[in-house]
């Protein structure tokens, strides 16, 4: 996924997979601390729900501890066999969390989605939809269609976030889907939007193909 996103100029916080705690510690040391340690599983989508995400890991020993903690959390619910290891990612702390998604509808074709991201995405459901492919106008309209857009623009004196970079991200995702129509579903969640002029980082992503 790292290479795919690079081809389309999408800013993805580089992620590396480790099958063992020793390899995870080595990767983290090269990445630079602090890092995020996440469950790597082909069957478990919502990692936080099963204790599969450990934040602010600051040393190789803490990486090994995080690996074991994730494995133990899965063992408590009888799902330890679904763990293929972990992923290591540089921790990105600041930024508003949004979600970008794509689904394929039998009648309409691909549909683009944008809205509030992070762990509250499914609870609050502040999202909007537009048909693919997007134009610069429809990308801007998509962002402005959600309630969260007021926060992104700078709510009650708060500094605005980089919505121009979000428009660019939506257009690049639309181009990616145009070139790869076998994609049936895509979720980028969270995308951490930085203050105005500083872009965004895709922190986690999932792609399904036909």
Q: Which domain-ending residue is among 90, 112, 144?
A: 90
In the chain, which ranges are E strands? Answer: 15-18, 35-40, 53-57, 85-90, 96-105, 109-116, 127-131, 183-193, 200-202, 205-209
List of residues 6+ apart from 144 with CB closer than 8 A:
none
Residue pointed to by tokens 């257009």:
171
Average pLDDT of the chain is: 95
Total count of domains within the chain:
2
Q: Are 161 and 196 in contact (CB under 8 A)?
A: yes
List of residues 6+ apart from 81 with CB closer than 8 A:
none
Residue pointed to by tokens 């599969």:
52
C-alpha Rg value of the chain to the nearest Å: 18
Whether residues 86 and 133 fall in one domain: no
- Over residues 49-94, the pLDDT tens digits come to 999 999 999 999 999 999 999 999 999 999 999 999 999 999 998 8
Q: Provide the domain limits for residue 156.
A: 96-209
User: What CATH number is associated with residue 199?
Assistant: 3.30.470.20
List of residues 6+ apart from 62 with CB closer than 8 A:
none
CA 33 to chain centroid: 20
Q: Record the pTM.
A: 0.86
Q: Which of the four pLDDT bands, split at 50, 70 and 90, describes residue 148?
A: very high
Whether residues 112 and 79 fall in one domain: no
Whether residues 102 and 174 fall in one domain: yes
Backbone angles phi, psi at 13, to 5 degrees: -65, 110
pLDDT > 70: percent of the chain? 100
Whether residues 54 and 124 fall in one domain: no
Whether residues 104 and 153 fall in one domain: yes
């Amino acid at each position: 996924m790292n290479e795919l996103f690079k081809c389309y100029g999408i800013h993805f916080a580089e992620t590396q997979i480790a099958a063992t705690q020793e390899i995870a510690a080595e990767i983290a040391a090269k990445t630079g601390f602090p890092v995020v340690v996440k469950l790597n599983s082909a069957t478990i989508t919502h990692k936080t729900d099963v204790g599969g995400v450990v934040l602010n890991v600051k040393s190789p020993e803490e990486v090994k501890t995080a690996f074991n903690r994730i494995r133990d959390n899965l063992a408590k619910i009888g799902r330890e066999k679904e763990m293929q290891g972990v992923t290591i990612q540089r921790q990105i702390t600041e930024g508003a969390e949004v979600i970008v998604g794509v689904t394929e509808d039998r009648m309409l074709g691909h549909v683009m989605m944008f809205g509030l991201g992070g762990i509250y995405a499914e609870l609050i459901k502040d999202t909007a939809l537009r048909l693919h492919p997007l134009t610069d106008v429809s990308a801007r309209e998509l962002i402005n269609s959600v309630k969260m857009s007021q926060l992104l623009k700078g709510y009650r004196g708060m500094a605005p976030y980089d919505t121009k970079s979000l428009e660019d991200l939506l257009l690049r995702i639309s181009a990616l889907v145009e070139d790869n129509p076998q994609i049936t579903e895509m979720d980028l969640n969270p995308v951490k939007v930085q203050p105005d002029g500083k872009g965004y980082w895709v922190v986690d992503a999932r792609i399904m193909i036909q």
